[in-house]
Amino acid sequence: MRQLNLHSTMKIRGQKRRMRALKRWASSFEGHFPLPDAAGNNWYTKLPIHEGMVDGPRVRYGIRRAVIGELLDVCESLRRAKLPAYAQSRVVACVILPDIFSASIDIFYSEDAFTTFVTRPGISGEWEGQSWTPLPASRSLQSEWHLPTNLPERGYHVEIHEVCNDEEYHYSGEIWLVGDVG
């Protein structure tokens, strides 16, 4: 169950129990491939975890690393479970740093959907005020976080600048797409 952390300075209790629940969630995808809905929309899921487990001042590196590892395990399980009719679909883990709570697993059933998701010019249209700049090929999420997987990946520096109701919002971070990104 996803929960926001309203008391960010408090340590989250029951971390071992929560990590066991996350492992059970990840293993539930073994041999299962979600099908598109009637409209053919893409499928996605978020981490079912308390925000304080992965984001905040008291979060340990080891827990964040384990959560990212479980997310990549789900991606790998879904890639293996692809049905022949959906061989062209892309299964991608979107790891957002430093806000790991926003990470997700996405399945793009068409190449156009994936291309639209990745190319964000930041000039006009749906992605106005948002730009993704590719990170150097020498960088790797899996090696920087010492993860045992060896999945294809692409990293982007994300800049978001929006003005809503006369309030400015600026965000800067990284997003790593891991899985069927080649």
Q: Does 6 fall in a domain?
A: no
CA distances from 150 to 5, 103, 174 (A): 32, 19, 19
Distance CA 101, CA 157 (A): 17
Q: Which residue has the higher pLDDT, 59 or 78?
A: 78
How does DSSP assign 1-22, residue by residue?
--B--S-TTSPPS-HHHHHHHH
Q: Which residue has the higher pLDDT, 121 or 164?
A: 164
* Res 5 pLDDT > 60: no
What was the pLDDT predicted at 133? 87
* Res 126 pLDDT > 80: no
Distance CA 3, CA 93 (A): 20
* Res 98 pLDDT > 60: yes
Q: Does 77 fall in a domain?
A: yes
Determine the average pLDDT of the residues in 152-158.
93
What was the pLDDT predicted at 159? 87
What was the pLDDT predicted at 50? 86
Here the tokens at position 54 are 């992965």
Distance CA 161, CA 131 (A): 9
**What is the band of 7 on the pLDDT scale with cuts at 50, 70, 90?**
low
Exposure of 16 in the CB half-sphere (CA atoms within 13 A): 0
Q: Does 5 fall in a domain?
A: no
The candidate with the shortest Cα–Cα distance to 70, out of 97, 105, 35, 102, is 105
Could you tell me if 154 and 181 are in contact, meaning their C-beta atoms sit under 8 angstroms apart? yes
Exposure of 99 in the CB half-sphere (CA atoms within 13 A): 11
**What is the band of 131 on the pLDDT scale with cuts at 50, 70, 90?**
confident
* Res 137 pLDDT > 80: yes
Q: pTM for the whole thing?
A: 0.85
Q: Does 9 fall in a domain?
A: no
Q: Does 48 fall in a domain?
A: yes
What was the pLDDT predicted at 8? 57
Which residue segment(s) compose the domain that 57 sits in?
A: 15-179
What was the pLDDT predicted at 9? 61
Number of folded domains that form the chain: 1
Measured in whole angstroms, the distance separating CA 98 from the mean position of its chain's CA atoms is 11
What is the per-residue pLDDT across 40-76, written as a single tens digit (0 to 9) for each?
789 999 999 888 888 877 788 899 999 999 999 999 9
Helix (H/G/I), strand (E/B), else coil: 103: coil
Q: Does 160 fall in a domain?
A: yes
What was the pLDDT predicted at 100? 92
Q: Does 8 fall in a domain?
A: no
What is the percentage of the chain residues whose pLDDT exceeds 70? Answer: 89
Q: Classify residue 103 by burial, with Cβ atoms within 10 Å: 0-12, 13-18, 19+.
A: buried
**What is the band of 6 on the pLDDT scale with cuts at 50, 70, 90?**
low
